[in-house]
């Protein structure tokens, strides 16, 4: 007699060498879609190359670039190109930065479908439970093995069944449903379980709604939330995949560790408090909390139905003064649907920022991050400290987020106030009486002496001095370590430079951007001055205003400099003396303005 199996057991057995499996069994399972993202993908490539491993089946192997679809981060750009080249040489497909979130692409492109299996470096791969498929996030070693063998080992998880009984209340969105579940089960009551959800109302859930609920299995600590596909899902997946889909269902007599009967009619509109997705409360208790920003997107709530709900709330209204609303669709197809249906116009007319498709705020480096002290309401799946930035993040449904952006404070779509909440100024101008003696600046030397770094190159620009990948750094104490790390031959300058060194270069030093860090990085290292034949105009101003000594000398070659020479510089007279070679030249002395700012220790 064949053992009855629940849904996860059925799917895994169908992809193993066994007729039946049970919880606790460890089995090798065939993977229908083997995927790596731009996050984790480069390490997958490293594992494959270092171990000289081939690709099992290029038709089932993919890269998805969704964590930084703008390609705006230097490290991501490098990693993405590395993956592109690897895929190009081995002949498998890349869903590049113009496509959207990888797990959504798997469904949209018919690469996963009811009863199928997929692994990816995305911890929310269990989103595929929305179509009754097995999806699992795994580390780069696992994914490399999947690329190479087409199989991975997996421990069959225990299963629970949740029955949502009763009628679905009006004004309850899919996000509210999953936040109610988080309120009930927390982050660890169902840790490591496969969850199957059933009910008369569940049968009516759309694909987009199922995706929202399935995407937060990770936040519940579960392996996956699985839905048995209805006919609408089957038709969608059949059209996308070009396959005749046979629905995989749990046996009626299947075993479950527990069965939970919940009253869906009692569910309330919910919101997650900052720091923990499972720390959910009735939204009524959070109303009128002032917000700085709002984010709509992520793999949880960036689908077309979400966008339509948002447009319905925003139509004819404006985002509150001082509030920033950011909207990011999940895929390019959804983005184009928004365009075709006129939703983009509604978003822009409301004052929202609309970005290209991708993970957005959940991934550092793209639209949706917030800063210290900033209060954000978001449709994302996580609000752990630092996940979406350094501010505080509330989680809610798209309609709630859109309504809150208009209101300027947390509210529901059916309770938007006539006048938005506005920011009240708390600034108080302070008049400081200076104690002349206590604040008297130490006298700055007009003559300095130090060891020379002689770099006989022209056109050393600000990207060579302090690369743009570090521009987010504002603490001068952190800047020194990156000095010259993009100047060939001097990448280790910061490790070898000593307090009191003097840098000597040729023409047009500091050309390029206006970044102040290209000056301050030298100050952070304790470099005393820079001598050059000429300076970029903006760099010259930045250095003078920061009281960092720069000296222009047209006849540097006459000093016969070598690295390590000892040099004395007189700022007032312009005399430069190479003490090691006994060579003296006359450079341009400090102007009255430069000397005054230098003595004042800066423009301020």
Per-residue pLDDT band for 426 (boundaries 50, 70, 90) equals confident
Give the range with max mean pLDDT: 60-74, 198-212, 508-522. 198-212
Mean pLDDT score, 431-450: 70
Residues 6 or more apart in contact with residue 449 via CB below 8 angstroms: 566, 567, 568, 569, 579
pLDDT tens for 539-585 read 999 999 999 999 999 999 999 999 999 999 999 999 999 999 999 99
Among candidate residues 9, 66, 57, 54, the one with its CA nearest the CA of residue 34 = 57
Is 435's pLDDT higher than 70? Answer: no
Query: Which tokens go with 327?
Result: 């909207």
pLDDT tens for 370-397 read 888 899 999 988 887 777 778 899 999 9
pLDDT tens for 450-483 read 999 999 999 999 989 999 888 888 899 999 999 9
C-alpha torsion 13→18→24→28, nearest 10: -80
Predicted confidence at residue 438, as pLDDT, reads 45
- Residue 281's Cα: distance from chain center in Å? 27
Predicted confidence at residue 440, as pLDDT, reads 53
Predicted confidence at residue 425, as pLDDT, reads 79
d(CA 509, CA 74): 23
- Residues 358 and 101 sit within 8 Å (Cβ to Cβ): yes
Q: To which H or E segment does residue 194 belong?
A: strand 194-198
d(CA 77, CA 84): 10
Among candidate residues 243, 240, 242, the one with its CA nearest the CA of residue 105 = 240
pLDDT tens for 77-129 read 888 899 999 999 999 999 998 899 999 999 999 999 999 999 998 888 999 99
pTM, full prediction = 0.80
Q: What domains, with CATH codes, occur in the chain?
A: 7-265 (3.30.499.10), 270-407 (3.30.499.10), 447-599 (3.20.19.10)
């Amino acid at each position: 007699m064949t053992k009855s199996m629940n849904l996860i057991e059925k799917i895994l057995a169908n992809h193993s060498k066994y007729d039946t499996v049970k919880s606790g069994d460890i089995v090798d399972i065939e993977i229908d879609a083997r995927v790596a993202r731009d996050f984790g993908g480069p390490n997958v490539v490293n594992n494959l190359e270092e171990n000289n491993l081939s690709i099992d089946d290029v038709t089932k192997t993919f890269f998805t670039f969704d964590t930084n679809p703008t390609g705006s981060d230097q490290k991501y750009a490098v990693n993405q190109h590395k993956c592109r080249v690897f895929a190009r040489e081995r002949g498998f497909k890349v869903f590049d930065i113009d496509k959207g979130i990888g797990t959504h692409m798997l469904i949209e492109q018919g690469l996963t479908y009811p009863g199928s299996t997929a692994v990816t470096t995305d911890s929310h791969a269990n989103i595929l439970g929305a179509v009754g498929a097995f999806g699992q996030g795994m580390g780069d070693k696992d994914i490399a093995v999947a690329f190479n063998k087409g199989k991975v080992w997996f421990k069959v998880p225990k299963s629970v069944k949740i029955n949502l009984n009763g009628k679905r209340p009006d004004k309850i969105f899919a996000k509210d449903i999953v936040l109610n579940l988080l309120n009930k089960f927390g982050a660890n009551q169902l840790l490591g379980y496969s969850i199957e959800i059933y009910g008369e109302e569940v049968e009516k859930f759309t694909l987009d709604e199922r995706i929202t609920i399935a995407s937060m299995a990770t936040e519940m600590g579960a392996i996956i939330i699985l839905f048995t596909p209805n006919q609408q899902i089957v038709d969608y997946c059949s059209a996308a995949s070009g396959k005749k889909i046979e629905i995989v269902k749990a046996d009626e007599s299947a075993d479950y560790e527990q069965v939970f009967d919940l009253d869906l009619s009692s569910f309330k509109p919910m919101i997650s408090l900052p720091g923990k997705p499972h720390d959910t409360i009735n939204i009524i208790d959070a109303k009128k909390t002032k917000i700085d920003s709002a984010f709509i997107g992520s793999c949880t709530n960036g689908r077309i139905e979400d966008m339509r709900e948002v447009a319905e709330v925003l139509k004819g209204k404006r985002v509150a003064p001082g509030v920033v609303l950011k909207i990011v669709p999940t895929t390019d197809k959804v983005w184009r649907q928004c365009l075709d249906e006129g939703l983009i116009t509604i978003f822009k007319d409301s004052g929202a920022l609309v970005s290209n498709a991708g993970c957005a705020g959940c991934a550092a480096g793209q639209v949706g991050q917030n800063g210290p002290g900033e209060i954000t309401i978001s449709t994302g799946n996580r609000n752990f400290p630092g996940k979406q930035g350094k501010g505080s993040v509330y989680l809610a449904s798209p309609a709630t987020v859109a309504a809150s952006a208009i209101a300027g404070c947390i509210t529901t779509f059916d309770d938007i106030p006539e006048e938005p909440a506005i920011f009240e100024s708390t600034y108080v101008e302070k008049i400081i009486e200076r104690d002349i003696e206590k604040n008297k600046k130490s006298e700055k030397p007009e003559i300095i002496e130090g060891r020379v770094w002689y770099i006989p190159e022209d056109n050393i620009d600000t990207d060579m001095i302090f690369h743009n990948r570090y521009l987010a750094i504002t603490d001068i104490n952190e800047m020194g370590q990156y000095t010259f790390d993009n100047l060939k031959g001097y990448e280790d300058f910061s490790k070898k430079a000593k307090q009191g060194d003097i840098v000597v270069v040729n023409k047009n030093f500091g050309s390029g951007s206006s970044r102040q860090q290209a000056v301050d990085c030298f100050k952070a290292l304790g470099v005393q001055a820079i001598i050059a034949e000429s300076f970029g105009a903006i760099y010259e101003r930045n250095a003078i205003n920061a009281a960092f000594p720069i000296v222009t000398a047209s006849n540097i070659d006459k000093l016969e400099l070598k690295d390590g020479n000892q040099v004395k510089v007189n700022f007032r007279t312009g005399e430069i003396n190479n003490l090691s070679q006994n060579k003296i030249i006359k450079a341009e002395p400090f102007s009255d303005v430069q000397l005054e700012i230098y003595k004042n220790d800066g423009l301020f």
